[in-house]
Amino acid sequence: MVSENMELSIVIPVYNEEENLPELLQRTIAASDKLNTSYEIILVDDGSCDSSQLLICDAAEKNPGKVVAVVLSSNFGQHAAVTAGLEVSSGKYVVTMDADLQNPPEEIHKLLEKLRDGFDVVGSIRENRQDTFFRKFASKCVNRMVRKLCNGRTMQDYGCMLRGYSRPVVNAILRCHEHGKFIPMLAMSFARNVVEVEVKHAERTAGVSKYNLWKLIALQYDLLTGTSVFPLRMVTCCGFLVAIFGIIFGLVIFIMSQIDKHWGANGIFALFAIQFVFTGGVLAALGLIGEYIGKIHLNTRARPQYFIEFVKGKTNNNSGDK
């Protein structure tokens, strides 16, 4: 699907953003025209209930060759919408951004320059971030967790969706069919050269954030359970700790009852100790079974185990390109 001459695809997920769309379109088209390259702006309507879909289709009609409308049948979530946009994209480089103008389209050129320099993934750091304290705090937690899950392949800011990807990385993301994808993290696992640039950040001018506390917790939970078996291991560890505590407790009771016959309330304390040992054992077993289920889960999501970036010296290859 990659066209020979299209250099840049800009993918924007849209969910109930009718107030932002006119300005978004006008500013994104103006900023992209200035880049002096071939580009397409792919707007993905993620099942909006307002007039976003109409506005997007209208923009595609009025700007042929520049704006592409992708309409999803229902609300599948931001990352699913971005994936749909990636699938339709045909540029050599892809930049994703939000529709609420918190990421100024005028910053796209910074990312494009880095992509042209050969970086696979270009992240962005929000210069004095314009969000509520709660949003910043939640974001800090997600950033920290993602950094841990990425095994040290670190980026400062995973939350900012103004990001750039090279075609091989986009293709790799598209080969991952698992649900609950977190694209910045997935991209990170396939990238060789990553870099972050500082970009401006504005307050949401219209509409409301689509992420409430519950959605943020769900996202965090999805991330954790979707990418690692760490929580299951914690259950196993807790189980072993409780069992060890039970054994020590039992020993203490035994020693104390030898010193003083009345100590230990006629064996009731000993029952507690036995209870601890069994509870610990059950927890450890639960974690262990969970670990196997986790392995099945990792295998069934069928993520490719490797991704060939390119092959040199072979004439009839088409890997690295769709």
Q: Which residues bind Mg ion (CB under 5 A)?
A: 98, 100, 102
Choose the one of ligand UDP, Mg ion, none that binds residue 111, judging by a C-beta under 5 to 8 angstroms depending on kind: none
- The reply to whether 157 sits near ligand UDP by the rule CB under 6 A is no
Report the nearest approach of ligand UDP to the CB of residue 278 (Å): 45
Length of the chain: 322
User: Least separation, in Å, of the C-beta of 135 and ligand UDP?
Assistant: 6
Taking the least distance from each CB to ligand UDP, the nearer of 192 and 215 is: 215
Q: Which listed residue (153, 200, 210, 297) binds ligand UDP by CB under 6 A?
A: 210
Q: What count of other Cβ atoms lies within 10 Å of the Cβ of residue 99? A: 29
In angstroms, rounded to a whole number, what is the distance separating the alpha carbons of residues 20 and 101?
A: 7
232-to-23, 152, 235, 284, 294 alpha-carbon distances in Å: 47, 21, 5, 9, 8
**The binder of ligand UDP chosen from 77, 91, 239, 287 (CB under 6 A):** 77
Report the site for ligand UDP in 8-47 (rule: CB under 6 A).
Answer: 13-15, 17, 46
* Closer residue to ligand UDP in complex, CB, 98/107: 98
Q: Is 120 in the site for ligand UDP (CB under 6 A)?
A: no
**Sheet-wide strand order for 163-166:** 67-71, 39-45, 8-14, 93-96, 163-166, 121-126, 194-199
Those residues whose C-beta lies under 8 Å from the C-beta of residue 208, and which sit 6 or more positions away, are none
Say which residue the tokens 């409308």 belong to: 69
Out of Mg ion, ligand UDP, none, what residue 292 binds, judged by CB under 5 to 8 A for its kind, is none
Q: Which amino acid is at 138?
A: A
Residue range at the interface with ligand UDP (CB under 6 A); choices 33-41, 57-65, 177-185, 205-213: 205-213
Burial class (CB in 10 A: 0-12, 13-18, 19+), 58: middle
**In this structure, what token pair is assigned to residue 76?**
């599948």
Give whichever of 210 and 303 is closer to ligand UDP, judged by the CB atom. Answer: 210
Q: Which residues would be at the binding site for ligand UDP (CB under 6 A)?
A: 13-15, 17, 46, 75, 77-78, 81, 98-100, 102, 209-211
